[in-house]
Amino acid sequence: MALPKRIIKETERLMADPAPGISATAHEDNLRYFDVIIAGPTQSPFEGGVFKLELFLPEEYPMSPPKVRFLTKIYHPNIDKLGRICLDILKDKWSPALQIRTVLLSVQALLSSPNPDDPLANDVAQHWKENENAAIQTAQEWTRKYATA
């Protein structure tokens, strides 16, 4: 299966001109599979953390969204224990005009602004709603614990 030109171009551009705080590297043996690292955004509970993710481009890409998952444990109301992310553009709001870069930027933005009203990890969301400060503190602890080398 030949790799679509779009994927090649996207990969090239991610390498040549990476988005700040984000790196994505394709596996040599599977160019549809990317190792992703997102730096925790400043002013967020995840600041200082380095989060590993995996990103996979399905066969239908770009008509179907990429599959993205956190590998690093993270305390976030929209990310569950398994690292799955609740983000509309990864689901029904996907558009083929979006790209790997825009997806990862969206994920980065999600770290800056958790949305407990549309939770994926219910207990975390609950915590966030009831006691935001405590939740943020937990998030910072997790970041130190799991997301720092």
Query: Which positions touch other proteins (CB under 8 A)?
Result: 4-6, 9-10, 62-63, 95-97
Closest CB to other proteins among residues 34, 75: 34
CB of 8 to other proteins, least distance (A): 9
Q: What is the spatial distance between Cα 144 and Cα 142, in angstroms, rounded to a whole number?
A: 5
Q: What is the spatial distance between Cα 48 and Cα 148, in angstroms, rounded to a whole number?
A: 7
**DSSP code per residue over 124-141:** HHHHHHH-HHHHHHHHHH
Q: What is the largest CA-CA distance in the chain?
A: 51
Q: Exactly one of 26, 53, 86, 125 is catalytic; which is it?
A: 86
Closest CB to other proteins among residues 82, 97: 97
Closest CB to other proteins among residues 29, 92: 92
86 catalytically annotated: yes
- Contact in structure between 70 and 52 (CB atoms under 8 Å): yes
Closest CB to other proteins among residues 97, 149: 97
Q: What is the spatial distance between Cα 144 and Cα 99, in angstroms, rounded to a whole number?
A: 30
CB of 100 to other proteins, least distance (A): 12
Q: What is the spatial distance between Cα 35 and Cα 37, in angstroms, rounded to a whole number?
A: 7
Catalytic residues, by residue number, are 86
